Amino acid sequence: MTNTKTPQTSQTNPNNTIDPDKFREMVAECAYCKAEARDFAAGHDMEDWLEAEQEVSSQLKP
Confidence of residue 10 (pLDDT cuts 50, 70, 90): very low
Classify residue 6: in a domain, yes or no.
no
Question: What is the C-alpha to C-alpha distance for residues 20 and 1, in angstroms, rounded to an integer?
Answer: 34
Classify residue 45: in a domain, yes or no.
yes
Q: 3-state class of 25 per DSSP?
A: helix
| Environment class of 58 (CB within 10 Å of its CB; exposed 0-12, middle 13-18, buried 19+) | exposed
Instruction: Write down the pLDDT at residue 6.
Output: 36
- The pTM of this model reads 0.71
Question: What is the C-alpha to C-alpha distance for residues 34 and 16, in angstroms, rounded to an integer?
Answer: 26
- What are residue 60's phi and psi, to 5 degrees? -85, -15
Classify residue 5: in a domain, yes or no.
no
Classify residue 42: in a domain, yes or no.
yes
Q: Give the residue, 61 or 42, on which the prediction is more confident.
A: 42
Q: Give the residue, 37 or 10, on which the prediction is more confident.
A: 37
Instruction: Write down the pLDDT at residue 16.
Output: 63
Classify residue 26: in a domain, yes or no.
yes
> How many domains does the chain divide into?
1
- Say what percent of the chain tops pLDDT 70: 74
Classify residue 27: in a domain, yes or no.
yes
Which structural domain, as residue segments, surrounds residue 39? 20-60
